[in-house]
Amino acid sequence: MAVKVREHWGSKIGVVLATAGNAVGLGNLLRFPSKVALYGGGAFIVPYLISLTLLGLPLMWVEWMAGRYGGIRGHGSTVGILGVITRGNVLARLLGIFGVAAPILIVFYYIYIESWTLGFALHSLFGKMPTPVATTETSEALKPFTEFLKNYTAPSLEAYIIFWITLFLNWIVLHRGIRRGIELAAKVGMPALFLMGIMLMVVIFTSSGHNPEWSAIKGLEYIWKPNFSRIFDGKVWVEAAGQIFFTLSLGMGAIAVYASYVKEDEDIVLTGLATTSINEFVEVIIGSAIAIPAAFLFFGPESIRELAEAGTFRLGFMSMPAVLISLPLGFFWSFLWFMLLFIAAFTSSIALIQPMIAFLEDELNISHGRAVSISMITVIIGAHLAIFIPGYIDELDFWAGSFMLIFFGILEIIFFVWLFGPNNFIDELNKGASIKVPKWVAYITGTITLAFLIFILVIWLAQNLSVMINQKGTGIWLARITIIVFVLILAALTVATTKRNSD
């Protein structure tokens, strides 16, 4: 079978920004500060940085290598890439389904949350957000914003309309393809994200709060002062490693798909390093220098854990607008904050939909326009279940947003390092590289990183599985049925196309 001619990224800066946009999302700006606050600041940062070194960068290189290797041979989805690695083995191709199913299932609920950020940005711009209560009591100060979020996400008619606008924007960019759609969006969106983030950092650190002893600098100190008190706490390690996995979009198939559109001589070692570095800059510099310092400045150190325990949305959708709107030009700063979140979420959602598009194009030979339409219609159906069925989101997030990612990360190392061969892995990774990765990295990845992932999966399942399995409810069972049916459909399509695509 002739290798299909695939579209390539237009420029090196384009692929770096697009892949960084894939990784940079709500996890950087909301989930990261919430986890830091919940697990004691510096006590979380130590295992986080170790996880970045042992887990994040090695897996990033694994996915870059696999993606380029498959892309050269006409396959961008993990179904096709695993088939190429194993010469058309049907079981391997079936396991590759996780790299197609997980991201699209995540988008079912992620895209609705993404639409909230756009809605809140528009409310801020037109001065329609609540007015903060002038008090240092956290719950009272946030009460108007708590009610606003609850009413908006009920969902309201307005939220539903903006959800459709968000869907339309994703559809348009994906329909325009790699160069004229995704790459162009990244070239505009990522610089805008950096600029907005830096402006908000400046605003926070030049503002004064209710108490002169509460300062934004102390908020940074809370985050970055080393604390080894929980170094042997397995839960903190699982959360830190899970954050690395989530923030770098690992185990989702999205990095591999983006990597499949690079040219054969592309320096993927440097590109993978640049992608990781940009993502970490947004997370540990911008992400850590806005939400927690702002809460520290206006609500004091005692409020930090309380805000984190109330969940990610409380920090991002309640405390941040309450802080920013209380400043001069506050509605503009609130608009900037939510636009920052929207751009981060938007560049991630288009990346998470792309694996299914690549699967339909490469494995079923469906045209790009039809592949985008089928993918987006799938998202629309799933998103409506997430919006209107209580309990659906949490169950979907448990299996697709957690279990599948870690499980598929383990499979990636087994297939792309051990079955492909450590020497082949390093040789393929180093093609076109200006900085050569030593061979021992393959063995570290195949042993320590693999063991680390298995440890995370075992501990995480021990903590959560029995509770989740015993939960009942229409939304929970509907989410499970959704996952099973979707995976079975992908499996049937994969089996049907295995022989044709094994040549």
CA distance 105 to 399: 9
- Res. 41 pLDDT band, cuts 50 70 90: confident
The answer to whether residue 401 scores a pLDDT higher than 70 is yes
Cβ(12)–Cβ(263) under 8 Å? no
Question: Does the structure show a pLDDT above 70 at 40?
Answer: yes
The pLDDT value recorded for residue 139 is 77
Please state, in angstroms and rounded to a whole number, the distance separating the CA atoms of residues 16 and 14. 5
**Per-residue model confidence (pLDDT) at position 1:** 46
The pLDDT > 70 percentage for the chain reads 97
| Local confidence band at 239 (pLDDT 50, 70, 90 cut-offs) | confident
Q: Which of 96, 58, 39, 23 is nearest to 308 (CA)?
A: 39
Task: Check whether 4 has a pLDDT greater than 70.
Answer: no
CA–CA gap between residue 58 and residue 79 (Å, rounded): 21
The phi and psi torsions of 135 (rounded to 5 degrees) equal: -155, 155
Percent of the chain whose pLDDT exceeds 90: 70
Give me the chain's average pLDDT, please: 91
- d(CA 308, CA 313) in angstroms, rounded, equals 9
What is the chain's alpha carbon radius of gyration, rounded to the nearest angstrom?
Answer: 22
Nearest to residue 167, comparing CAs of 475, 375, 389?
Answer: 375
pTM assigned to the model:
0.94
Contact 205, 377 (CB under 8 A): no
Question: Is the confidence at residue 110, as pLDDT, over 50?
Answer: yes
**57-72 and 422-429 helices, crossing angle to 10°:** 80
Could you read off the pLDDT of 156-168 as tens digits, one per residue? 999 999 999 999 9
pLDDT digits (tens, 9 = 90+) for 129-139: 998 877 667 77
Q: Two tokens at 385?
A: 């279940």
Asked whether residue 499 carries a pLDDT value surpassing 70, the answer given is: no
Are 84 and 69 contacting, i.e. CB atoms less than 8 angstroms apart? yes
For the chain, what percentages of helix, strand and coil (3-state, to nearest 5) are there? 80, 0, 20
Which pLDDT score, from 0 to 100, does residue 501 have? 52
